[in-house]
Amino acid sequence: MPAPSLVILTGAGISAESGLATFRDAGGLWSRVRIEDVATPEAFARDPARVHGFYNARREQLADPAVQPNAAHRALAELDARWPGDFLLVTQNVDDLHDRAGSKRLLHMHGELRKARCTRCAAVTPWAGDLSTTTSCPACGGAGGMRPHVVWFGEIPLEMDRIAAALDECDIFAAIGTSGLVHPAAGFVAEVAHRARTVELNVDRTDGTRLFDEARHGKATDTVPRFVADLLAAT
Ligand code: OAD
């Protein structure tokens, strides 16, 4: 029997213990700024400097030496390295903590904070510093067309074809540290429910808990290493 095919979805909760704020918990990012001011194409057209400022601050925070992958990121990287069957880690997070932990079979469906995209030539470039309304594109040289390589509300998430293919084959689906409120990711559990064992790992119950076969509550740094150990023990 081939090993079960795994799809793992992560959200901001997995990075909370690394020091990055979530969006919707008390004190989360969306309690401090409005989505429609910083995370839509319309906001960027209206006030690009403000949008750049929001993502520049988040990029800077990510560069803080105190912000490091935690035990949950590391456990998922180990699972990726050791899982004998198909495996895909789909993250909604724009941080690079899964990458830094060593995950390889990984897709960033909402983009990456440490990349910039040219709206003129479409080149995507690694980006460590600030972006501004005058930044030039390293690929085409055009100035003023650079944007964060992140998906905004109203835009289509990245890599949806590869994600759909993995969900089609999936035998075990786990959602970790996500409120399950943002589509399309919020709909993945319903898409696989007819064929896969579904597990939610979250510090608390969510609006979507009832959609999963099993819920494991607790901090990601506790629940994820245990979940990974259980999966590896069963193969
Ligand atoms: P949310 O902020 O909506 O949800 C974070 C989830 O993590 C909540 O359900 C918390 O209970 C849980 N959580 C918090 N700390 C945790 C911990 N230590 N261990 C385990 N769970 C914990 O974040 P997301 O679901 O990721 O999109 O949000 C989805 C999308 O909405 C984001 O990718 C972003 C946002 O707007 C865009 O910007 C396009």
Residue 204: phi and psi, rounded to 5, are -145, 175
Among 22, 109, 155, 176, which residue has the most ligand 1 atoms within 8 Å of its CB, making it the best to mutate? 22
Q: Which residue has the tokens 């943002």?
A: 182
Gap from CA of 136 to ligand 1 centroid (Å): 33
CA-to-CA separations, 151 to 33, 38, 155, 211, in angstroms, rounded? 17, 12, 6, 26
| pLDDT of 1 higher than 80 | no
- pLDDT value for 138: 97
Band the pLDDT of 235: cuts 50, 70, 90: confident
Report the pocket of ligand 1 as residue ranges, CB < 6 Å: 11-13, 16-17, 22-25, 28, 39, 92, 110, 151, 153, 177-179, 181-182, 202-204, 206, 219-220
Q: Which atom of ligand 1 is nearest to the CA of 94?
A: 33
**DSSP class per residue in 162-219:** HHHHHHHH-SEEEEES--S-STTGGGHHHHHTTTSEEEEEESS--TTGGGSSEEEES-
| pLDDT of 156 higher than 80 | yes
- Residue whose CA lies nearest to ligand 1 atom number 8: 179
- Residue whose CA lies nearest to ligand 1 atom number 6: 178
Among 25, 30, 89, which residue has the most ligand 1 atoms within 8 Å of its CB, making it the best to mutate? 25
The DSSP bridge partners found for residue 149 are 112
Against a cut of 0.95, is the pTM above it?
yes
174-218 confidence digits (pLDDT tens): 999 999 999 999 999 999 999 999 999 999 999 999 999 999 999
| pLDDT of 94 higher than 80 | yes
- pLDDT value for 34: 95
Catalytic machinery residues? 110
- pLDDT value for 198: 98
| pLDDT of 61 higher than 80 | yes
Mean residue pLDDT of the chain comes to: 97
Q: In percent, how much of the chain has pLDDT > 90?
A: 97
95-106 confidence digits (pLDDT tens): 999 999 999 999
Gap from CA of 104 to ligand 1 centroid (Å): 22
- Residue whose CA lies nearest to ligand 1 atom number 2: 23
| pLDDT of 145 higher than 90 | yes
